[in-house]
Amino acid sequence: MADKEAAFRQIFAANSKKIYHLCYGYTGDDDAANDLLQETFLKVWQNLDKFRNQAQISTWIYRIAVNTCLTYLRSEKRQAKDELTPQIAENQKEEFSEKNEQVALLYKCISKLEETERIIITMVLDEVPYPEIAEVSGITEGNLRVKIFRIKQKLTDLYNHYERL
């Protein structure tokens, strides 16, 4: 048990920041991102003995986090109406300091992307190697590079649109 605990602490230390960014990219909300981070690592803890080393552990954790975020978003969509989203986004924008406004806007733009695009761009921002991103997203590295280019174009358009508002 002590070995599992030590291994878990090391895994958490190495991956928690990236997983938080992924969760924040999905939710745009600090509290929800922290909740999803905890839920993800609870699942990692519960299933650590089932990890088979067929992929990198970070890839396995990303998959758990993505599934956790998608489940959360599905339940949120059932609970909340789309009319609330602009109001919530506006309230969140006011909470950020001036220093963090650009980062907040970036994550707001990321939250407008399709699910697979959010996963990919969040991993790019976290400097995950392209082969690992390709493995997580299930596309070839060549297609990944094209997709990343298109996602960046889409993000630039979204960012410029919101910056003008």
Say whether pLDDT at 80 is over 90: no
- Mean of pLDDT over the chain: 81
Query: Residue 2: is its pLDDT beyond 60?
Result: yes
Give the phi and the psi of residue 77 in degrees, each rounded to 5: -65, -35
Give which of 47, 52, 58, 51 is closest to 22, Cα–Cα: 58
Instruction: Identify the CATH class of 2-164.
Output: mainly alpha
Given this model, what pLDDT does residue 126 score?
A: 77
User: Rounded to 5 degrees, what angle do the CA atoms 147, 41, 94 make?
Assistant: 65
Q: Where are the domains of the chain?
A: 2-164
Q: How confident is the model at residue 90 (pLDDT cuts 50, 70, 90)?
A: low
Residue 153 banded pLDDT, cuts 50, 70, 90: very high
Top-confidence residue, 86 or 47: 47
How much is the pLDDT for 36? 95
Of 156 and 164, the structure prediction assigns the larger pLDDT to 156
